[in-house]
Structure 1
């Protein structure tokens, strides 16, 4: 075998490879002889057909298989000989020009991994988010838990903001019904923005059994293009008005949260413990994001297009799987690969930088780190010991905690060298909660 390496633009390389046709013929002949031992050909007992007859029936397929394997093997040998790291998959093509009588010639075009050099981490600036859980945050969380357990009780008064109403409605534009403009026994909360403002205000003040027409102006940028910017007339009938009732902050409420004796002090302590754990996870996630951004900034690197393409493919498949899980047919949603390109580039860039940082500084995940993460994750479940055992029953289940431990090591390594400044964050901002 002969292999000549050519450097193209950037990370792209090309091998011109030649394999003696005698080698290929020898392999084809040997494989045909093996096929002949079991071949079933009309007019002959199994394995008794002459080799030339076997070649007529199976020769093309066998030659294709041998050529495919020869290409793969020759490329792998050339890569090993040149000590190259191939990124993605090569593209194999016949060599230009007249085929050689004694050599099987082809070219393999591919990309190699770039050389990655971690920049000066001491020059990197990283913000480390900080937040101490106070009594106010605990009480706010208790109130959220109460709201989550809201009950609605029927009232005979007129509907007001905060009430849940059940209605029938039918809309028309210029006297014509339109798609999505009609529903029966439709429930919504007044004042939560679930319906258009004109619609909600039209329902305010209505009582159970009352009916009236309400003019509703659709915004110019409304998602339904057929009705955007138009005014509809909705015939609305109120079938039920219910007032929100929050559970009292008492022993029964504490018991509903798993506090067996109903002690409110224990309940608040449990809420604080869970809240501190969640805050710690979220602070860690934000710090990690800031560290990764800093790492990318100090580690410029040329990215292999092949790896970006593979990552885009994974992101598209992930998006399709997510839609399918939510009951939406992915075929109904157009997927533009360019939409995922920025995310794919970041992932590839980060993967290259992290691999180099971990390799150069031996930041591997230690068993005790993985165990600590597993035990921490298990605290979110009713029987933590059972969850820990579940993780350790299958090595593949530990892949997640091992990745988390590795990322922790990277974050710790970078923070120990970068210019770190604490950044106070608000509780609502961190938790994504609204009052």
Structure 2
């Protein structure tokens, strides 16, 4: 086999390949065998039809087509390896010559990883929010915990804000009750905003047995986005009672003996949370600064595929689960189709650039991923997916995604290296201590993965 590579632009090449016909022998044998199993010729046992008979009955062209389709991936891979290029996505193959008994020639155009130069990034400096936990933050945290331990007791009076009401709901659109528009025995806290717009005003002032009708735009279901006439009937009213904020509450709601200890723990947890958020913000801003430093040629086909993938996932997965169309989503967001397209393209470009830059850093810094690091990452991904670690690991292995996870961890480590070299100060001008290596790498993984989106899958 002979092959040559032509660089069409920094992100696309054309491979020209010539294959002597004798190298198609294995594929030709396989083609005859496959056709033998699929056809029947009178006078011959199935699978025992001579090649000449197949040629006569079904045409040599059909055999050649089958053989070439079988052989092309192998010859393409050999040409890619010989040319030492890193292809992205699937090639566009064109058979330029096929002479029976003599020669197979074809070209393959494919996007490739561009060669990129990463300049000195040690001068990157970013500013992040300072870590400040106020007494108000602590009080809010304790109050949220207190809400979880609230009790309810039935009352015989009109419902008021903060009460828990049990309601029956019926939604009509254009005068017709929706098949999925009836719900009975729904528990709702007035003022929580967890149900339909307008329900708070409708049920406030009603006693058990009271009924009201209001108009609201449905958020989900078969008529999502449409205006519905909703009838709500209150079947029960209960008052919420919060426990007193004292040492008894601390013992009830935590492992602490006093309210002061509970508040001190709440402050510490909030500080840890804000420190992680600060580390994540540092990764995001350092990454943005790094992307600005590096010139990354953009593979057009990869970019097109990435944009389409992001739009498909949004429209058919995320919005589909919410019962929304893309047009309705854009209407709710107050965006035009052109604005959405531009936004999606910008996100796709950033994701692709991030992957290319961090992969180059992984190679340059000779970063590797240990089994322990991979396991920790797998556990985090499993938790965020709602699957058990065993279920997630099985899905990863069956889907052939192990290397994708390795890449995610490696890119997180690469970004952490850049953050370590950068100067990070908070809004008070204080240098931020990012010495917790595990926390920084975990935050870096999250940032890199969030930015890349589906670029990883498209680049494989």
TM-score by length of 1: 0.69
Match of 2:439 in 1: none
Deviation at 1:74, TM superposition (A): 3.0
Separation (CA, whole Å) in 2 of partners of 1:237 and 1:249: 35
Q: Distance in 2 between matches of 1:243 and 1:74?
A: 75
- 1:83 is aligned to 84
State the Cα distance separating 1:160 from its structure 2 match: 1.8
1:346 equivalent in alignment to 2:350: yes
Q: What's the CA shift string for 1:387-426, capped at 9, x where partnerless?
A: 99999999979989976764564344323443533136xx
Give me the whole-angstrom Cα distance separating, in 2, the residues matched to 1:370 and 1:50.
54
Q: In structure 2, do the counterparts of structure 1 residues 322 and 272 end up closer, same or farther at CA, with 3 Å as the change threshold? A: farther
SS at match of 2:91: strand
> Shift of residue 126 of structure 1?
1.8
Rg larger in structure: 1
Mapping of 1:18-29 within 5 angstroms?
A: 18-21=18-21, 23-24=23-24, 26-27=25-26
Equivalent residue number for residue 234 of structure 2:
238
CA distance in 1, matches of 2:291, 2:279: 18
Contact 1:36–1:48 (8 Å) recurs in 2:
no
Distance in 2, Cα, partners of 1:112 & 1:344 = 17
**Preserved CA contact (<8 Å) 1:126 1:415:** no
The answer as to whether partners of 1:32 and 1:54 remain within 8 angstroms in 2 is no
C-alpha displacement of 1:18: 2.9
State the distance in 2 between where 1:263 and 1:398 align: 48
Cα deviation digits, residues 248-279 of structure 1 (max 9, x gap):
345664455452x7554554455455444433
CA pair 326-391 structure 1, distance change in 2 beyond 3 A: closer
The alpha-carbon distance between structure 1 residues 188 and 51, as it changes in their structure 2 partners (threshold 3 A), is closer
Q: Does 1:415 align with 2:419?
A: yes
Residue 243 of structure 2 corresponds to residue 247 of structure 1: yes
1:360 paired residue among 364, 371, 382: 364
Q: 1:122-161 counterparts in 2 under 5 A? A: 122-133=122-133, 136-161=136-161
Which shifted more, 146-155 or 26-35? Answer: 26-35
Uncovered stretches (5+) of structure 1, i.e. residues with no partner: 381-386, 425-435
Pairs aligned (count) = 402
1:115 partnered with 2:119: no
TM-score (normalised: structure 2) = 0.66
Q: 1:141 to 1:73 in 2, by over 3 A?
A: same
What secondary structure, in the 3-state scheme, does the structure 2 residue paired with 1:303 have? coil
- Does residue 67 of the first structure (1) align with residue 68 of the second (2)? yes
Q: CA deviation at 1:4?
A: 4.3
Deviations 1:143-201 (A, max 9, x none): 1111133333222232222222234566889xx73556876545433333456776533
Conserved in 2, the CA contact under 8 Å of 1:36 and 1:49?
no
Alpha-carbon deviation of 1:131? Answer: 0.9
Equivalence for 2:166: 166
Query: CA 1:76–1:197 in 2, change beyond 3 Å: closer, same or farther?
Result: closer
CA deviation string 1:104-147 (max 9, x = no partner): 23221112211111244245342233314455533321211111
How far the C-alpha of 1:83 sits from its partner, in A, is 2.5
CA contact (8 A) 2:124 2:286 kept: no
Q: Tell me, yes or no, if the aligned pair for 2:198 and 2:215 is still in contact at 8 Å.
A: yes
Relative to 1, partners in 2 of residues 1:65 and 1:207: Cα closer, same or farther, differing over 3 Å?
same
Q: Distance in 2 between matches of 1:85 and 1:249?
A: 63
Given the superposition, is the C-alpha separation of residues 258 and 316 from structure 1 closer, same or farther in structure 2, using an over 3 Å criterion? farther
- For 1:365-384, list aligned pairs within 5 A: 365=369
Deviations 1:281-323 (A, max 9, x none): 3322222222221121111211223433554566467658965
Change in CA separation of 1:16 and 1:391 when aligned onto 2, cut-off 3 Å: closer
1:285 is aligned to 280
Please state how far the C-alpha of 1:226 moved relative to its aligned partner: 5.4
Q: Is the 8 A contact 2:283 2:416 kept in 1?
A: no
Aligned pairs for 1:187-206 (under 5 A) are 187-194=187-194, 200-206=200-206
Cα deviation, 1:39-64, whole Å, max 9, x if unaligned, reads 99764467765443365578666533
For the Cα contact (< 8 Å) 1:158–1:206, is it kept in 2? yes
> Helix, strand or coil for the counterpart of 1:8?
strand
The residue that corresponds to 1:384 in the other structure is none
The residue that corresponds to 1:297 in the other structure is 292
